[in-house]
Amino acid sequence: MKTGPLALTLGDPAGVGPEIVVKAWSELRATGPAFMAVGDFQSLASAPGAVAGNLRRVTTPAEAQRAFAEALPVLDLPLRAPVVAGQPAAAAAAAIIQWIETAVGLALRGDVAGVVTAPIAKAPLYEAGFRFPGHTEFLGELTQSASYDGARGPIMMLTAADLRVTLVTVHEPVARVAGLLSVEKIVNAGLVTAQALRRDFGIREPRLAVAGLNPHAGESGGIGREEVEVIEPAIRALRDLGVDAAGPYPADTMFPEPMRALYDAALCMYHDQALIPVKMLDFWGGVNVTLGLPIVRTSPDHGTAFDIAGRGVARPDSLIAAIRLADEIGRRRAA
């Protein structure tokens, strides 16, 4: 059973991460869920909305749990060089990576109930030699993703209101997506999704709706062969493995409210196919959940927003939703 607060990594300190972490604590301090910020204390202290005396350095999750109602607890892992709001720098990359590694280590040991990550920017990390497409893939490497029913994460899920979507391919150029799809990848994503719906969301008999890749789901091969040659065989394989999977459906008909009532998660083939409906449904409150890991991990469904960093106008809605969902999933796993 995982105990203790959540670990919340600061993300890119030049973005809105410090500001929304401070604002999330202000909203949740009286009710919880409790969390411990993992990052640079000074970045949080200088964030818009921060108040002197409302931050406290801590050294353990237990200390953070006790302090949470009175002050934002911070496991201080300082930056090596100053950072200016709105100006990402490769010099911060080592610290950003250290914050993620530290939080994951705490979760793997059971010292925290899960990990919530504020947004990172890929470009400055790549400049410093980071070799992963993003948070999701890095977390998979750090946790050596656990295997469930023969399936393996990490799989990205986005949630908003009553909609959950998972992705077969994630941060890939659209021109490469068709060539990257395979029966094995779709089946793996479907199995991980079904397992997570049962274990993390409490849905005993999950239903998956599988999207096609092409317009009109390929028109029986008339507008592309991927549905016939890859997606339909994958759906049959999922059914043979006991997963209630249906489709492939044209993506432009899957997301209106009457259709959403027919499934518990939509399995999508590429990034924008999944994220556009989520952000149309709830732009401010969407949450990113990483499935198929031995730890709980969520994050806000937005980026670093360098253009508004330091101005005091960033909204913490998505981060607060991510904190609450991480807490809910952690409690279900513990039960």
Both structure tokens of 305: 């927003």
Neighbours of 82 (CB within 10 A): 12
Other beta carbons less than 10 A from residue 335's beta carbon: 7
Which 3 state secondary structure label does DSSP give 335? coil
* pLDDT given for residue 175 in this prediction: 96
State pTM to two decimals.
0.94
Cβ(151)–Cβ(292) below 8 Å: yes
Strand partners, 75: 38
- E-strand ranges in 45-145 read 55-57, 72-76, 115-117
Three-state SS at 277 = helix
Task: Tell me if the bond preceding 88 is cis, omega within 30° of 0.
Answer: no
pLDDT band at 1; cut points 50, 70, 90: very low
- In this structure, the chain runs to a length of 335
Q: Over the stretch 73-86, which tens digit does the pLDDT of each residue have?
A: 999 999 998 899 99
Q: Are 186 and 173 in contact (CB under 8 A)?
A: no
Q: What is the pLDDT of residues 248-290, one digit of tens each?
A: 999 999 999 999 999 999 999 999 999 999 999 998 999 999 9
Tell me how crowded residue 234 is: count the other CB atoms within 10 A of its CB.
Answer: 25
Return the minimum-mean-pLDDT range out of 33-47, 142-156, 200-214, 319-333.
142-156
pLDDT tens-digit profile of 297-316? 999 999 999 999 999 999 99
